[in-house]
Amino acid sequence: MLDPHRTPSVIVSDTATEVAARPVDARLRLSVFQVARTSYRSLNAAITHPHWAISHVALGDVRTTTADRAFAAPAGSVLVHPPGLPYVEYAPGPGQHEWIVFDAITSQNIPLFEAYPLSPVIALSCAGAYSEMFEELLSAWSDVHSPPFQRELAVSRRTAAILDLLIEEWRKGGAVPRPASMAARASRFAATVAFMMENAHRRLSRGELAERECLHPGSLDRLFRAEYGMTPMRMLTDIRLRRARELLAATDRTLDAIASECGFEDATYLIRVFKSAFGATPGRYRDSVRSAHNLYSE
């Protein structure tokens, strides 16, 4: 049963989604893990996703570095991040991203973005239309009151439409393939990272995560750090903080509600951890995001 107070963090379409469009003529199996719009005053983040991620730079000017290569991503472009490949995004000024974390498998059992090796950065000729489609997706993702199957179908269809548009834009730009050094990397801990993303709202222990991998907690910390540059519990905190930051920017929920939804024991603990990570209290961060939004709206 869906909890009406918490947006589920994963949608899996077990029945294939029919994509009636030009470049994607196969049926897709889609798993959508996150849909979010994030605003910031500046950005300097090192990130690794266990799934594919696409991020539309709706506002701002971003520079991303991955696999020892750097790319510029101005407003109106989309960043494409393969799973398991660490990347850094930097922006000296305010901006806003519309991003989706997902997996997509064709009817031939091939990952969609292996069949269509999209470039790391895709310039959109229709950024406004993309944002309108994203808004529809975000609305479907946030609709926890609809019957589960209806919501899953709406999210799957809208995600497929965005992927279709993105592939078409890539083809219009010459279909330049992604460099071989930026191929998706399989991670032995991908399932555990997905588990943390799906269950970040509840209490998770180091021992529980180690048990999932059949490892001693110390061994899990060592191997996980070698792959991701941090321990599992540190990544779990980062997942929770990113979710808290999204809710602060996009909603008027109280700190107590956000702390509960993001897996923090109370608002006091959330304030302490948030300030340590971002240099500002949640309240000041919320105010700064809204000031940045007003700056772009004027």
Over residues 25-39, the pLDDT tens digits come to 346 788 888 899 999
**Among positive and negative, which fits the CA dihedral 276, 64, 244, 200?**
negative
Q: What is the dotted CATH code of the domain comprising 190-297? A: 1.10.10.60
Given a cut of 50, is residue 53 above it in pLDDT?
yes
In this prediction, residues 148-163 reach a mean pLDDT of 89
CA 224 remoteness from chain centre:
20
Q: Which fold would CATH assign to domain 11-182? A: Jelly Rolls (2.60.120)
Given a cut of 60, is residue 8 above it in pLDDT?
no
- CB–CB of 242/197 below 8 Å? no
- CB–CB of 172/125 below 8 Å? yes
HSE, CB side, 13 Å, CA atoms: give it for residue 81. 27
pLDDT band at 170; cut points 50, 70, 90: very high
- CB–CB of 84/282 below 8 Å? no
pLDDT band at 265; cut points 50, 70, 90: very high
pLDDT for the residue 18: 34
- CB–CB of 99/137 below 8 Å? no
pLDDT for the residue 131: 95
For CATH 2.60.120.280, list the domain ranges present in the chain. Answer: 11-182
In this prediction, residues 182-207 reach a mean pLDDT of 81
pLDDT for the residue 9: 38
pLDDT for the residue 15: 32
For CATH 1.10.10.60, list the domain ranges present in the chain. Answer: 190-297
* Phi, psi (deg, nearest 5) at residue 297: -80, -20
Q: Is the pTM of this model over 0.75?
A: no
